[in-house]
């Protein structure tokens, strides 16, 4: 490895002055992403203007053996864009142009730094939109969405980022440009898009994305049902799906979240409810009418009182308002919160939520739940005070136990926020040693020198052996081949 200073000089001589930051006051804003418990000052921040700049920086990193961490908007919640202390932080925010829109074919081709919401805004006049809508959509970049396979409220019906990406251009650290997919539905050869979507910047830098646009549904209706029992709300979710309805969104909030949201935005949610379900259906007028009627009946059948519904945009927004403001609302009632992201089979919703409450009590912490109930993606928010090391420690332990609980019922440690640096430990309980080794062999295919976002997303076997409480996976002792690492 050549010196980092030498690499920085090379980058400075290649990119314009205002595209390279080394001054600590200028690099400070980049020391953390949305997972603020982790901070690291990047020695150098490169802000490429175009694909060619990206290629130059990657070439320099490859030649000098310096690690590179790609960053979009830095809203990630798992520390994926946490800088490397001896590496380059490649920030794509200047690459924020929509390159083309094909109204007839319903596609848009964009640079990675374009924000998620701005795509939908740009095509709204054409009666189109881009479906995946993470709550961070005003800020997060589409490149970051691809790297995390981001989801959102409407993913139950319209799929995740993966299902809405048709084509990618990816730059590898070896200097190749991979053109994957295109603007059609299929293409010849092996389909590598799934490998790059959700790869957390470990395989290459995504420099161009072609997304699928959908026609804006002519009608929408939002229903809000309040339940006295968590169990009956959980059963109602299962019943809606089992009746053959796939709502556009199906969200759940628990009592603590409802109260925090009410105190903050006064959306008119029933304060005395133990749980509320918010459900949106969309489509043609007839389809919406019949789906909404059936959902209303199912809510009543499961004991909901106080059902509200809205068809007009302002009323609908009002019903969504509390849900959309839930994270900041919870932020107001606690100095800090830690957002988990496990996904479980829907039928275990009430069982897992009850167990989470028990675990929280054991650790003496409060947990608020606001989440994508329709696809079983939980977001328990653990409330704690980061200025108290002991509390942070307890919060982290509770977090790990919650994720292990999710895995134990057949779920996963992360539904949409990614592994990053945050979930390396629970990854050790979800995957066996040969599976983790297979992941590393895959990484080597595109990044033989191991310079792309090293140390993230996939734990090494050595890391897993350090994690306390060795986990048994598939009936075998997990790491029989430890001496290799």
Partner 1 sequence: MTRSFDDAQRLIDSVNYAVAHTKQLSILGQGTKAHYARSTQGDALQTRDHVGVIEYRPDELTISVRAGTPLTEIKNVLNEHDQMLACDPPEFLGGGTIGGAVACGLSGPGRPWYGNLRDAVLGIEIVNGLGECLRFGGSVMKNVAGFDVSRLMVGSLGIFGLILSVNLRVHPKPELERTIKIDLQWDDAWRIHGDAISKPSAVSATCYWSGSLYLRLSGNRASVDETRMSYPDGAEFENELWKSVRDHDHPFFHRREKLRRTWLGRGAHPELTDARNQLVEWAGAQVWSHSASTDSFAADANDASEPFDRRSANPETESKYVKRLRRAFDPHLLFNSDLRL
Look at strands 275-283 and 214-215 and give their pairing: unpaired
Q: Which is nearer to ligand FAD, 75 or 369 (CB)?
A: 75
Report the nearest approach of ligand FAD to the CB of residue 82 (Å).
Answer: 8
458, interface contact from ligand FAD, partner 1, none, CB < 5-8 Å by kind: partner 1
Count the Cβ atoms, other than its own, within 10 Å of residue 178: 16
Q: Which does 102 bind (CB under 5 to 8 A by kind): partner 1, ligand FAD, none?
A: partner 1
205 neighbors 141 (Cβ within 8 angstroms): no
Rounded alpha-carbon distances, angstroms, from residue 184 to 105, 129, 165, 210, 322: 9, 18, 10, 10, 39
User: Which is nearer to ligand FAD, 97 or 271 (by Cβ)?
Assistant: 97
Q: Which of partner 1, ligand FAD, none interacts with 376 (beta carbon under 5 to 8 A by kind)?
A: partner 1
List of residues contacting ligand FAD (CB under 6 A): 33-34, 69-77, 80-81, 92, 112, 134-136, 140-141, 143-145, 147-148, 150-152, 200-201, 205-206, 327, 416-417, 453
CB 272, min distance to ligand FAD, A: 28
What does 208 bind: ligand FAD, partner 1, none (CB cut-off 5 to 8 Å by kind)?
none
Residue 39 CA to its chain's centroid (Å): 19
Nearer to partner 1, 336 or 425 (CB): 425
Sign of the torsion angle spanned by Cα atoms 193, 194, 195, 199: positive
Describe the crossing of helices 313-324 and 326-333 by its angle, rounded to 10 degrees: 40
Distance of closest approach, residue 72 Cβ to partner 1, in angstroms: 15
Residue whose C-alpha is closest to residue 30's, from 88, 117, 116, 78: 88
Q: How far is the CB of 182 from ligand FAD (least distance, A)?
A: 18
Q: Note whether 166 and 211 are within 8 A (CB).
A: yes
Q: For residues 222 and 280, is the Cβ–Cβ distance under 8 A?
A: yes
Q: Which is nearer to partner 1, 113 or 151 (CB)?
A: 151
Q: Least distance (Å) from partner 1 to the CB of residue 10? A: 26
Least separation in angstroms between CB 210 and ligand FAD: 14
Out of partner 1, ligand FAD, none, which partner does residue 104 contact, by CB within 5 to 8 A per kind?
Answer: partner 1
Which one of ligand FAD, partner 1, none is in contact with 136 (Cβ closer than 5 to 8 A by kind)?
ligand FAD
Toward ligand FAD, which CB reaches closer, 417 or 473? 417
Q: Minimal CB distance to ligand FAD: which residue?
A: 144
Smallest separation (angstroms) from partner 1 to the CB of 411: 5
Q: Which of residues 418 and 478 has its CB atom nearest to ligand FAD in the complex?
A: 418
Q: Is 448 exposed, middle or buried (0-12, 13-18, 19+ CB in 10 A)?
A: exposed
Of all helices (H) and strands (E), which one includes residue 309? strand 305-310
191 makes contact, choosing from ligand FAD, partner 1, none, with CB < 5 to 8 Å by partner type, with partner 1
Is there a contact between 30 and 91 (Cβ–Cβ < 8 Å)?
Answer: yes
Three-state DSSP state, 424 = helix
Cα–Cα dist 36/158, whole Å: 31
Q: Which does 100 bind (CB under 5 to 8 A by kind): partner 1, ligand FAD, none?
A: none
Strand order in the sheet with 68-71: 20-21, 44-46, 88-91, 68-71
Q: Cα Rg for the chain, rounded, in angstroms?
A: 23
Closer residue to partner 1 in complex, CB, 238/392: 238
Q: Which does 444 bind (CB under 5 to 8 A by kind): partner 1, ligand FAD, none?
A: partner 1
Nearest to ligand FAD of 371, 431 (CB atom)? 371
Q: If we measure between CA atoms, which residue out of 338, 335, 320, 313 comes closest to residue 396?
A: 338
Smallest gap from residue 375 Cβ to partner 1 (A): 4
């Amino acid at each position: 490895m050549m010196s980092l200073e030498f690499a920085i000089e090379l980058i400075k001589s290649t990119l314009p002055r205002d595209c390279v930051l080394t001054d600590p006051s200028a690099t400070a804003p980049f020391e953390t992403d949305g997972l603020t418990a982790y901070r690291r000052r990047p020695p150098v921040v490169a802000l490429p203007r175009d694909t060619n700049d990206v290629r130059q920086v990657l070439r320099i990193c490859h030649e000098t053996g310096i690690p590179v961490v790609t960053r979009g908007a830095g809203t990630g919640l798992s520390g994926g864009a946490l800088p490397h202390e001896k590496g380059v932080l490649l920030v794509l925010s200047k690459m924020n142009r929509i390159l083309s829109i094909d109204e007839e074919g319903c596609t848009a081709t964009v640079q990675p730094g374009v924000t998620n919401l701005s795509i939908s805004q740009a095509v709204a006049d054409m009666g189109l939109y881009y479906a995946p809508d993470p709550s961070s959509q005003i800020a997060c970049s589409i490149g970051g969405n691809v790297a995390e396979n981001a989801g959102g409220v409407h993913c139950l019906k319209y799929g995740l980022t993966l299902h809405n990406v048709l084509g990618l251009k990816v730059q590898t650290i070896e200097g190749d440009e991979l053109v994957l997919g295109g603007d059609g539905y299929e293409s010849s050869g092996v389909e590598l898009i799934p490998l790059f979507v959700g790869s957390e910047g470990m395989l290459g830098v995504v420099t161009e994305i072609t997304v699928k646009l959908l026609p804006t549904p002519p009608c929408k209706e939002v229903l809000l049902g309040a339940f006295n029992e968590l169990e009956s709300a959980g059963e109602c979710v299962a019943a809606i799906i089992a009746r053959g309805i796939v709502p556009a969104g199906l969200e759940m909030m628990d009592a603590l979240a409802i109260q925090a949201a009410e105190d903050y935005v006064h959306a008119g949610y029933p304060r005395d409810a133990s749980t509320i379900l918010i459900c949106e259906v969309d489509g043609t007028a007839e389809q919406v009418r019949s789906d909404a009627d059936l959902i209303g009946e199912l809510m009543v059948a499961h004991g909901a009182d106080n059902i509200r519904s809205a068809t007009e945009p302002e009323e609908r927004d009002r019903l969504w308002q509390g849900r959309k403001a839930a994270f900041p609302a919870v932020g107001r009632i606690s100095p800090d919160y830690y957002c988990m992201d496990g996904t479980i089979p829907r039928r275990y919703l009430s069982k897992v939520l009850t167990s989470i409450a028990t675990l929280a009590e054991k650790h003496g912490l409060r947990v608020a739940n606001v989440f994508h109930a329709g696809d079983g993606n939980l977001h328990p928010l653990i409330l704690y005070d980061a200025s108290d090391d002991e509390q942070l420690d307890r919060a982290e332990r509770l977090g790990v136990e919650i994720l292990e609980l999710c895995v134990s019922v057949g779920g996963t440690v992360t539904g949409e926020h990614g592994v990053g640096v945050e979930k390396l430990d629970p990854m050790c309980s979800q995957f066996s040693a040969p599976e983790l080794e297979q992941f590393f062999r895959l990484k080597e295919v595109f990044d033989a020198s191991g310079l792309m976002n090293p140390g993230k997303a996939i734990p090494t076997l050595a890391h897993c052996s350090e994690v306390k409480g060795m986990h048994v996976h598939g009936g075998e002792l997990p790491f029989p081949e430890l001496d290799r690492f």
